[in-house]
A and B are shown apart, each in its own frame.
Chain A
């Protein structure tokens, strides 16, 4: 792989801020178009296989796979009781992480909350500062959106429609499927379009029981649509096909890169073109502006280790720092010409912040599996996805939009059911007899995009590099709470209908941010007064500024966003290259 040094004298065709799903895709598409690209990543390039160690047994790990004792991952209760910034009160822990940081395999991937504080309302903000960002540890559920989502306002009157429809993005979904690999089963659902799937894995017995029962209710359970290559990718030398090794259920990543991650899926192949320069440890402080033209001229960054300042130049600046960091960067990029932040003449940067609500879910037992020998159930990229069924043909009286469930069942390395009462011989026996019979699922529901849910800059608190922290003004609303009530009811009803026993419904709503699907802070639209970007994720105000991550979403839908982020980004970068070639930027 060619790794050219950063050239501060050069004007790059494009400077990309961020190396996650969006930044990686921008690098792939633009280098394919022959552009000279510089990518800046705030974190390190980690020896990722050594971090993930996907096949390490717990007993071979010094802490059985848990965090070392000098580190702490925030718990649900702590998020509930405390307010950001989450540093004070945890002095015993040398490093403090978000809730996902509860294993030894992600400790260097996730940021330290103390170095990266934020303020305002409670939020479980999961950030991964390293090459590839959160794609190193993502959940891999790779779903398409449909016109039920893109044209949701036309259907129920709420919010805004997207400036695109499904037919605009469908060819790009196809490209992403073929370039990165996805496994799943075709279902022909209008509200959840199929991808071009590679070989699927089967459901297991309890999942089939649930699927058959749901069919009678007109609901669809399908194999987890995983952004994982099950057949392999002949054009990519950095990724193996999935070997079903079974570490997917533990919080961590895939060290053979069968699961998509941005470095092996997008960035390394882009570097092989010789047109991509990567600079890690580059904390971008500001998008700089040429006062004569009003256009973006490049970026100003701080080396995260030496604290030195640098300026680099680009003909186009592409912001792909993740939804909240991208909004922060635009707000930080204030100048006389852009006093409210760059690309923010609408005042919508940071607003319309949305995501998925989580918490309600259910666990039950398929009693016909009690006492059966242990089976191999976690040697696959995921369990099942139960697709949206609300507000499709019929209108629910209590809430708009929809939700789906992610779930699974079967034997795992660490058995289910150890939270039972008692101890001794009977406890041990019951854990063994019951372990393979549990089925569980949890809901992901659309949080409406509201102008009132927003982030801005904290006037006082700064991060380790002296950069103003984000301040959250964000809460779930009535529609979400009514939807959550329905999630609990339907979860129970569906498990009862399937004949599962010992059903326990989880009633709590997890802290805002838990889904790690934050979206919408620089939304697209046709009207520059009410949106930040046009349909090609190009700033209405600054022609050579693009924001290509989840911040461009107009609503959250209830589907996981990564595949849509990458498909939109591919489409926008095709447009960008074309416009740049025509001299329009």
Chain B
């Protein structure tokens, strides 16, 4: 899966879609519809109970989103990654409160497809894969990101956008990673003297 020899996603997906049903059997992830009905079934509460929001993701889906987001923005020597920034919680809230049913089901479908890809390329679920193996799966999608007619590619792009936004608006992203200096009272704006000696 090197850059010199990129995988043709359109060709490969026929295989991983075909083999999926037989290999997986009882999938880790319930299909989109049952995930929605199961969370809806869990919702009735007595009116006196404090309102705890019904989770959109199952615990397994939540872990998958955590690992996906961390693969997109990992922890490194400089700062924490998407997991430390709780990006999965941000995405969970985004989807839980979204009035857009299509967006919700396409996320669940996207998670399902990612795991199918992981089974195909790595022989195990995404969560069980090593970080190199996870990178390999997302590299297939990133390398083919122009194939936006494919649902897994659209999902990858949306996942990346949501992860990036969630990360760089988090405490970890703003303060630890970017070391943002603003949003405080300034005595004097430093700027640059004019004419500036050009740094080389």
Contacts and interface: CB of A to CB of B under 8 A. Distances in A.
Contacts of B170: 58-59
B178 A425 contact: no
Given A202-B191, A243-B186, A368-B198, A423 B178 contact: no
B189 A202 contact: yes
Nearest to B94: A69
A423 B142 contact: yes
Interface in A54-68: 55, 57-59, 64-65, 68
Contact of A413 (B71, B180, B192): B180
Nearest to A256: B185
A429 B81 CA distance: 12
Contacts of B138: 423-424
Contacts of B190: 202, 375-376
Given A414-B168, A429-B76, A432-B78, A208 B194 contact: yes
Contacts, number: 140
Interface stretch (B4-12, B95-103, B110-118): B95-103
Interface in B126-177: 135, 138, 142, 145, 160, 164-166, 168-171, 174, 177
Given A205-B192, A209-B196, A244-B189, 15 more contacts: A69-B94, A69-B98, A70-B99, A92-B100, A203-B194, A207-B192, A368-B198, A374-B178, A376-B182, A376-B190, A380-B191, A413-B174, A418-B168, A422-B142, A423-B138
A373 interface: yes
Given A243-B186, A368-B199, A413-B174, A374 B181 contact: yes
| Most chain A beta-carbon neighbours within 10 Å: one of B135, B142, B189, B200 | B189
B72 interface: yes
B169 A411 contact: no
B157 to A, nearest CB: 11
A82 interface: no
Interface string B53-79: 000000000000000000111101010
A373 B179 contact: yes
A230 to B, nearest CB: 10
B34 interface: no
A376 B189 contact: yes
Interface of A: 55, 57-59, 64-65, 68-70, 92-93, 201-205, 207-209, 211-212, 243-247, 368, 373-380, 411-415, 418, 421-425, 427-429, 431-432, 435
Contacts of A207: 192
A57 B196 contact: no
Contact of B182 (A69, A379, A427): A379
B174 A92 contact: no
B195 A212 contact: yes
Contact of A423 (B72, B90, B192, B199): B72
Nearest to A422: B142
A376 B181 contact: yes
A401 B133 CA distance: 59
A244 B138 CA distance: 42
B193 interface: yes
A415 B189 contact: no
Interface of B: 71-74, 76, 78, 81, 90, 94, 97-100, 135, 138, 142, 145, 160, 164-166, 168-171, 174, 177-186, 188-196, 198-200
Given A243-B185, A421-B145, A64 B169 contact: yes
Contacts of B74: 424-425, 428
Contacts of B160: 423
A55 B182 CA distance: 10
Contacts of B194: 202-203, 208, 211-212
A208 B194 CA distance: 6
Nearest to A68: B97
A57 B172 CA distance: 12
Nearest to A378: B182
A75 to B, nearest CB: 14
Contacts of A411: 178, 180-182
Nearest to B170: A59
B62 to A, nearest CB: 19
12 contacts: A57-B171, A205-B192, A207-B192, A208-B192, A208-B194, A212-B194, A246-B183, A374-B180, A375-B181, A379-B189, A423-B142, A424-B73
Contacts of A203: 191-192, 194
Interface centre among A59, A373, A427 (most CB of B within 10 A): A59
Contact of B183 (A55, A202, A424): A55
Contacts of B183: 55, 57, 245-247, 413
Nearest to A91: B99
A376 B182 CA distance: 6
B166 A208 contact: no
Given A376-B182, A376-B190, A432 B177 contact: yes
Contact of B192 (A92, A202, A422): A202
Given A207-B192, A423-B71, A376 B135 contact: no
Contact of A244 (B73, B179, B185, B199): B185
